[in-house]
Structure formats: structure tokens, C-alpha cells
Structure 1
């Protein structure tokens, strides 16, 4: 951005003020915002605009009515107010490094097409991409239903490996297949084959968006989710449109934009309800996403109503239901763990703990990301209940699946638990947890405050 548009730097006297240093260390943003106002002349409305928060949210924080703990929000505050990363327990921010030395990936602006990754130089023994294209034209055969089924099987395999190890390493293959299928759409084919290709392309675009979402690269994720929406609409697949909107709703929840999350999931429900083939499992999953949005907004009654609807719909599932493949993950343990998380977002730890714990006992052990993610949720819930020993044991058990999957979302939840553990950091059980953390996840632990 032009220099004139860059956020102004905070005065050195404020950044070296012991009160500011301590407030940043414990992430007391009520104190941070007050100090920024009184000592830097940055008023709440300006704080809201620079940190992408609503003015009412900033007012609630200053009044002590709300705490901000989402990693994405903490990073927006650091970048918007120009607070150096180390003061908030974050990695060095991009703007702290002279531009000539920056070598990290930059996200595309919202709404733009992600830039393709540079192609690797092909070995001399392999033909170039132009020759590949010529050969493909010469040997291409007509597609059949079996070909579409092969594409769907590969997508299911991508999802399975994504759950086990994360999607970062898979992304080049997924994007390559997406572009190949989009290329096939340019040719004239029977409508049944063409619609099938649109559905496959939509799911590949959604999967790509998901891998970026899991990496917390939100602009890229949204670009691919938008592409998935367009492809699903071309196919006339309202259920797929609903699913993509539900993914975007979940991302908005992570970005602490609950009003956007609620609008997106409401649109998803409208799409699903307008489709005669929508199954109870689909409607149940969407109701749980609605519960997440209401819980993040603090709407207790609406959250409970959405949870009740999710369980009511789930109770209507029958063996012969023709569920889309993308919703089969939403089984009873997933319903229960999401119910616990929704209660946890409302601050009802007593209700949340047994639900999350029971679901964890029944969850597929091959789903490393899900187990790590839900275990850190349980550990934070137990810590809120004052169960320090249990919380540290749960978090320690989560480290092994967390070490098996590359997921910034999981790392973010680990950091949030670590920060919440701060008052107990010298207790023997907390020291044992940290020793195991540094043994299994040194890159993560290295970015945490000791």
C-alpha cells in the first residue's frame, strides 16, 4: 500500500511503557485500547477500523464485557495498531521487516484470483507442458460415468489424507486436477457428463479452499470457495452450494465475524431447504454451523434453538438416506463434539466438557487433525473449570496427533491453550506438558512465549 495509507506507528514512549508491555504480554486488550487512546490519540472508532472490528466490539472490550482471544483477531490488532509481534507473543510481523528482505508469500487481495505457483523446471527427460497438451489432444477419448466415478474416488482419497496429515502437501495435486477438469468443461459433452464435471470441479475447488482455510490463508481460501460456488451453481447443485456457504460461514467464525457467519449459514439453509433431496444429515450439519454463529454472537437462546434443531434433524436420519459424500463425516460423535464446542463458545464449560470428552473417545483415531483440534478444545474447557491436571493431561495426549498433521488451525488452538495456561506455567503438570510440547513440536513451541 502507499506510505500515506500505512497505519501510523505507535510512539516509542508507549511501546516502552511498562504498563503497555505488561498489558500486551497478558493480552489485556481493554488496557491496550485505553493506552492507545490516551497516549497515542487513536480513538475507539479508529481502533475498530484499523483492526477490522466493529465499534461496538471495541467498546465492549474497553468496558471489560468481552475478551479477545482468537489468534486471527490478535494478529489483526498487532498489524492494525503496529504493535510488534513479540509483545503479543506472535511471530515477527511482515511490516517489521524491511521490504527488501521480505521473502514470505503474500495473500492475494480479497476477491482476486490466487496467483499460480511458479512451475518447477521439468527434467530434461520429460516432455514440456506444450507437448503434453498436444499428446492429450491426440489421445483424448470420450468421458463416461466410470471416469466421473474415478474423479470422485480420488477426491474422497484427498479428503481422507487431508484429515490424517493436512492438505498443504496435497494442494498442488488438487489444484492440478481442478484445472484439468475445468479444461474438460470447455468441450461439448452430454449434459449428464457435463453436470458431473461441474460438480467434481466444484468439490475440488472447495477442497482447495479448505486447505487454504486450514492454513489460515483466508483470502486464498475465500477465492477458491467463491470459485466452488460458481461451479456448483453451473451444475444446478443446490446442496453443494449450501455446503460451500457453510464452509465460508465457518471461516467467518474463525475470523471473528459472526454476523457474516450467520448470514452465510442462513443462505446455506435456504439453498438446502429449497432442494427436495436435502437429507436430515445435511440439515443437521447446517443447524450446527448456525449454532456456532449464534454462540459467537453471544445469542444464548438462538444457540440452544439451533442445537435443538440439529439434534432433531439428526434423529430423523434413516439407513436408506442418499447423503452427499461430503456430509458423511457428520456422524454422532461429530454432532456431540460440535454441540460441546457451541456450549463452550457460550461459556458453558460444565455442559461442554462431557460432550467433547465422550465424542473424543469415539472419534476415528486416523483423523489426526480432528482429534488434536477437539482435544485442545477439551483441554481449554477443563482449564476453565479449574481442572489443571486433567487439562494438561488432555493437551499432552493431543500433541501426538498434532505432530502428525500440518494444520495452522490446530497450531492456533495449541497456542491459545498455552496462553491460557500462563498463570499455572510453573506447576509440575504444566512443566511436564511443556517439556513434551518442545519434544514433539519444536517449531510450534519455539514461537510460544517461554
Structure 2
């Protein structure tokens, strides 16, 4: 007589048999770490970790598409042992196995009562000093000038200028025996800006290095909001490079930092928004929507504190990020409303932001099946200055073209793609001095 299996075991076995029977499906399974990243705001995972019930965790991963074979291999246990955990016949008790599970799936150590894991963002301790002292006027003037130019022309041709300014004007003062916290804050803010310009230049490896350098500088300055701001930028970059787990962790790190410093609602809103983006990328609809609601609640707060080093995060930025979050959740009607608001709110002089918002709007129109509306927005995009030095915009335009390609049997789409390709060739000639292949570098 065949022994009766629990529902959890049957699901696990079915997943395993499917995995073994179709090697292609095995390769297409979701990465366990990405699944966990999407569940970090889910009560089921949080409760399983709080109870140290690894059987519940394994069941949750299996239901989310991770085969039992991959789970067992990731934490170096046998299939039989895994089924015992899933069915509640035994529990994980050994500290070393909890550590293996945390490291295999990138579960933050604190959720399992462990020490901070080596792959987690470094802990940031408050520095006892006078925070938010007035910045040096020359540093702030340079920051404002770079920021204004970047909004209009893109970071491609400004990156080198910012790096030189850091090397020539800021770095020498960091080794001065009487360096003040303001100097470290200026160095952190300008290094973070260099990271964004590297990202805008299509050089994400350089962007990651700049953000990694900016955080300890912000810590040294004692400016916790600035450190949280850098964490938000690291979250954005992680999301853009496909590291959803890292994106969520960095956003949480930023919220922890923001909670220790002066209350800046716009900063808190930005961090909640990055959490929402990471959760949406992981397919976690309800937690993502809750994070968006938290962002809106923070931004709606009337009392705000200006901060000289932080890039503004306003209603237009929130609408733009909300559109992307809702799009990733396949909530296209709501995403469309937010995307239209983002385009409407973009002010004159924000050429790159307007272009990115229009790309998102056209993207959502395509996904909704409204090709005429997508083509209309696409023609508006072709008016974007061809000298805009943003490789990020070029790449997103290429993604939009790829999205439209399957619809070229529709005449308006076909005619638009001809115009698009002509405009792209002209743009590439004008940007030849900074353009790089995706993943490459020109420097």
C-alpha cells in the first residue's frame, strides 16, 4: 500500500518530477534568491523566519516555483531530509544549517536571529557630531551647477567633469588634519552624483563603485539622511541590474538610517518607493502596493525639512516610479494614470526625466494593446534632443522598439519604426564619443 503523502509533499514531488522531466523548464525556474527578495515583505515568510519554521519556508519557496531539488541542493541537505522538514516531521535545529539557509537564499540574518551576514549591506552606526551643518558655499554651488546641467543634458558628458572636481577640489581637503564634517558630506554627495552620471552613461560597474565609496563618506560626516539617500541610489542601481534582493535590502537599510536622523518625508517616500519597485519585481503585489501607499503618505506630509545635499523627490518622481511598479504588477490601467501624471508634471528643463516618463507611458500603452496611443507618444519621443547625453535613455528607447517590433504588421507601428530607426542612427552618430555597448565601457 502506498503511504499517503501530505499536500505539501505532493506539491513538492510534483514540482520535482516536472523539473526532472523538462530540462528547459529547469533552466527557466526563478532564482531562489529572487523569490525570497520578493517575499521579504510577505507575512508568510516573516512568520516562518520568526518561528524558525524552515519547513514552512521551504513550502513557500516550492509553491512559488522553486523545485525541491534546487532547495535541497542550495542548503546541502538530502531530498528525504527536505521532505521531512516540509511535512513537519522534523525541524531545523542546528545553527550552522540556519546560517546555510540564510546565505543560500539571502535572508537577512536578523530575521532568523543570526548575526548580520557577510553579503548584507554594512551596518551604519550614528556618528555623534553636529549633523546638517551649513555646507561650504563653493561645494554646494558646484553641486547645484552639476545637478542643473545633468537634468537638461544628461550625465554622459558631465561624468568626467564631476570626477575631476572631486579629485582636484574635494579629495585634497579630506586628508586635511582639520577636515570638517561638511567636507565629508560634500565628498559623499558629489561621489553619489558621479555614480548617477556613470549610470546615465551606461557604466553601471562604475556607478556601483561610486555608491560604495559614498556611503562611508556620508557616515563619516555624521549626516544620516545623506547616508540614507546613498542607500536609496544603491537600491535603484541594484534594481536596474536585476538584483531585486539587493534592491530591497538597500531600501530597508535606507529606511533604517532615515529613522535615526532628521525627519525628511521626501527621503522616506523615495525609500518606500524603492521598496515597492523591488517587491513588484518579485511579484509581491500586496506588499508592493502597501509600500506605495506608505510613500504617498510620507510625501503628503506637510512638514518637511530641506536638505542641501539630497536630490529632490517630488510628486512627479513618485508618479513615475508608481507607474513602473504598477506596470510590473500588470495593473496597467492604474499604471497608465500614474504615467500620464508623471508626463504632465515634468517641468520645463527636465529633458531626460520627460523622455523617460514618455517611454514608460508608451510602454504601458503597448501592454494595454492601445497601439495608436503608443505610436502617438513614440512620435513625441522623437522630438527629444538628439544630443541628450544619456545612454540610459538610448537603452530604454531600444527596449521600447523591441516591445513594438512584434506589432509591425500594423501600418502605423511599421511607419513609426522606420522613423525611429532613422532618428536612432542620427542619435548614435552624435553620441559616438560616449556611447558604449550594454555592459561595456568607453573609458
1:410 maps to 393
- CA shift at 1:394, angstroms? 0.6
**Any idea what the Cα deviations from partners look like across 1:395-432, whole Å, max 9, x if unmatched?**
22122226242222212221121111122213232133
Change (3 A) 1:326 1:403: farther
Q: Return the match for 1:162 from 150, 171, 177.
A: 150
Give 2:191's aligned residue.
Answer: 205
CA contact (8 A) 2:29 2:65 kept: no
Partner of 2:350: 367
1:284 maps to what in 2?
Answer: 269
1:175-224: CA deviation from partner (whole Å, max 9, x where unpaired): 111113111121222x6xx1111111111111111111222322211111
Does the 8 Å CA contact 2:30/2:65 hold for their aligned counterparts?
Answer: no
**1:377 maps onto 2:377 in alignment:** no
Instruction: Output the CA distance in 1 between the equivalents of 2:150 and 2:340.
Output: 23
1:281-430 maps to which residues of 2 (within 5 A)? Answer: 281-318=266-303, 321-327=304-310, 329-401=312-384, 403-430=386-413
Match of 1:258 in 2: 244
Report if the CA contact (8 A) 1:208-1:224 is conserved.
yes
Residue 435 of structure 1 and its aligned partner are, at CA, apart by 3.2
Alignment CA distance shift 1:283-1:53 (3 Å):
closer
Shift of 1:444: 6.3
Gapped regions of structure 2 (runs ≥ 5): 1-18, 37-60, 68-132, 430-436, 438-443
CA 1:439–1:267 in structure 2 vs 1: closer, same or farther (change >3 Å)?
same
The equivalent of 1:184 in structure 2 is 173
Quote how far apart the aligned CAs of 1:54 are. 8.1
Indicate if the aligned counterparts of 1:402 and 1:410 stay in contact, CA closer than 8 A: no
| Greater RCO, 1 or 2 (C-alpha within 8 Å, sep 6+) | 2
Out of 266-275 and 363-372, give the one that drifted further: 363-372
> How far apart are residue 154 of structure 1 and its match?
1.1
Deviation at 1:359, TM superposition (A): 2.0
1:355-402 CA-to-partner distances (Å, cap 9, x unmatched) read 111221121131111111111111010111111010011122122226
- For residues 429 and 325 of structure 1, do their structure 2 counterparts lie closer, same or farther at Cα, with a shift above 3 Å needed? farther
| Alignment partner of 1:237 is 2:223 | yes
What is the RMSD of the two structures over their aligned residues, measured on CA atoms?
3.4
What do residues 279-338 of structure 1 show as CA deviations (whole Å, max 9, x unaligned)? 1111111111111111111111111111111111111133xx322235453122222222
The answer to whether the aligner puts 1:270 opposite 2:256 as a matched pair is: yes
Corresponding residue for 2:209? 223
- For these two proteins, the number of residue pairs brought into alignment is 323
Q: What is the deviation of 1:48?
A: 7.0
How far apart in 2 are the matches of 1:271 and 1:243? 9
Deviation at 1:240? 0.9
Match of 2:137 in 1: 149
Is the partner of 1:401 in helix, strand or coil?
A: coil
Gaps of 5+ in 1: 1-32, 63-144
For the pair 1:432 / 2:415, whether they are aligned, the reply is yes
User: How far 1:342 moved relative to its partner?
Assistant: 1.2
CA distance in structure 2 between the aligned counterparts of 1:251 and 1:146, rounded to whole angstroms? 29
So what's the TM-score if we normalise by structure 2?
0.66
Question: 1:311, 1:46 → 2: CA distance?
Answer: 34
The Cα of 1:47 is off from its aligned counterpart by 11
> Hey, what's the Cα distance between the residues in 1 that align with 2:302 and 2:210?
31
Partner of 2:126: none
Give the equivalent residue in structure 2 for 1:22. none
Aligned to 1:117: none
How much does 1:150 deviate? Answer: 1.6
1:21 maps to which residue? none
